[in-house]
Structure 1
Amino acid sequence: MTTTTTQEPAVRAPARPEDARRSWWGDVGLVMARELRPVVREPFSVVFGLVQPLVFLALFGPLLAGSVGTDLPAGSVWQWFVPGIIVMTTLFGTSTTGSNLQYEMQSGAHERLLVTPLSRSSQLVGRSLKEMAPLVAQALLVVVVMLPFGFRPDPVGTVLGLALLAVLGVGLGSLSYALAIAVRRQEWMFWAVQQTVLFPVLILSGLLLPLESGPRWMQVAAQVNPLRWVVEAERALFAGDLTASVVLWGLVAAAATAVLGLLVGVRTLLRSTD
């Protein structure tokens, strides 16, 4: 005698209204708010990030004025030097953000975030967009600090320059997160790669010293360094030369860095969670 059993179809839980209303940009906003919360609670971290650039301004600026100040393309040493230091602040600040993600991976916070309904790509984009707020705040503080010393930035150029820095910071932050995910728990590897890449890019940007008097090979290498064009664009913008060709090239370099960083970062995150 054969008995037949009928299997009732699985009943799915009804979709919650908040799930239906969620969008990708909404997920990005949630992640961005989550990442900004510690910064808002402890704003001293933003101020503490200014120690290094202020040391450069206080100690390297006078040396620069005394040695090559008369040969600088901009008449004032501060008009030439301060925009470069602001870019350096962005470079140092965003290139180290991957260490925070490494800490979350070690503590398990990153895995808990991955099991939420938030899309993977929105998690990385939200983290990267968070970098805009502290770096713009730090750049404004540098400008304010240097005003009594004769630094006179163009108001419109300053706003455009800060927007350009925000775009660059998104790309650099994304690449830093991608590196942290790639090396995972090998913290030493993250810092080894970060330091190995950071200083050649920094020197070849003409940020600290004019490259016009350097060897030919260094000038050629600087031409393919995206940070070089961002530095030149920032100097032109802060000087009020808004229509200079280097401004366009700086925008292209910053946008390309942002697009590349987001693509690499999202791809690395998706592959790590497959």
Structure 2
Amino acid sequence: MFWRDTWTIFRRQMILSLRNPAWVLIGLLQPIMYLTLFGPLLEQVASVPGFPPGDSWKIFVPGLLVQLGIFGGFFVGFAVIAEWRAGVVDRMLVSPAPRGALILGRVLRDVVSLTVQGAVLMAAATLFGLAVPLYVMGLGLLLVALLGGAFSAFSYAAGLALKSEDSFAPLINMFALPVLLLSGILLPMSLAPRWLQVLSDINPFKHVVDGLRAVFLGDILSMTAAFGFGLALALMVLGLWVGARVFSGQVK
């Protein structure tokens, strides 16, 4: 029953996504634009003292993958607000479908979409000069899937709890800036002053970025890599639990 209902929700969400190809195209082009417009700048920054040793693309691309997983997942809450307003969510909640299936089916759709975007990003990055084994790319996609699943679940929970785009949008903006600046997604925090590095160490997403960069640099079995992937997995489990709780709380 659970997996059958999860598949039903997933299939419905995928059909809705494919009926709007403009969003699919935008999602595929966005990571390529980051590579094209920001990547060449980072190559020049790589010679600055404090920049991590190694290929600059192995520093930049992992950050983009983490950004894709976090922010690609965090904006999907707008869709569930629209579904709630149209009465779709209420009709699903009066069905016998498990609440976990209602959230997991949606999350799986987002994971598939973000994983495809991540694959396109890394394929394009190889044209710019990224050279890593296929299993490293696979680990990168795994991390995108974990983060995308976690943040899409959190996003659905927040959207359904707030039920207002006017409240949901400021929440995203409040979250986005410190994550983007203090996690070293675009620029390594080793370039920052000491006080900013201390703030960054408190940010869990900085350790996720560091973990994936360690994988791309060849330190797959390091504690840095294990800690980063462990955090991503923990976020995934927590996000699904929170999402299921919020969906259950909507029953009148």
TM-score, normalised relative to structure 1: 0.85
Equivalent position SS for 1:242: coil
Instruction: Give 1:22-171 correspondences, 5 Å limit.
Output: 23-71=1-49, 72-171=51-150
Structure 2: unaligned runs, 5 residues or longer: none
Q: What's the CA shift for 1:67?
A: 3.1
Structure with greater Cα Rg? 1
Change beyond 3 A, Cα 1:262–1:142: same
- Corresponding pairs, count: 251
Q: Report the counterpart of residue 250 of structure 1 in structure 2.
A: 228
Given that 2:115 and 2:141 are in contact with CA atoms closer than 8 Å, whether structure 1 keeps it comes out as yes
One-letter amino acid matched to 1:134: S
Q: Which moved more, 1:81-90 or 1:37-46?
A: 37-46
Equivalent position SS for 1:131: helix
Cα RMSD for the two superposed structures: 1.8
Q: Please say if 1:196 is aligned against 2:174.
A: yes
**Separation (CA, whole Å) in 2 of partners of 1:146 and 1:109:** 40
Structure 1: unaligned runs, 5 residues or longer: 1-22
Given that 2:68 and 2:144 are in contact with CA atoms closer than 8 Å, whether structure 1 keeps it comes out as no
Q: Which moved more, 1:217-226 or 1:259-268?
A: 217-226
Percent identity of equivalent pairs: 35
Equivalent position SS for 2:184: coil
Structure in which a larger fraction of residues adopt helix: 2
Q: Deviations over 1:5-63 (max 9, x none)?
A: xxxxxxxxxxxxxxxxxx21222222122212223444553331144333332222222
Q: What's the CA shift for 1:114?
A: 1.8
Q: What's the CA shift for 1:143?
A: 1.0
Given that 2:122 and 2:137 are in contact with CA atoms closer than 8 Å, whether structure 1 keeps it comes out as no
Q: Report the counterpart of residue 206 of structure 1 in structure 2.
A: 184
**Separation (CA, whole Å) in 1 of partners of 2:100 and 2:84:** 17
Structure with greater contact order relative to length (CA < 8 Å, sep ≥ 6): 2
Given that 1:50 and 1:89 are in contact with CA atoms closer than 8 Å, whether structure 2 keeps it comes out as no
**Separation (CA, whole Å) in 2 of partners of 1:63 and 1:178:** 37
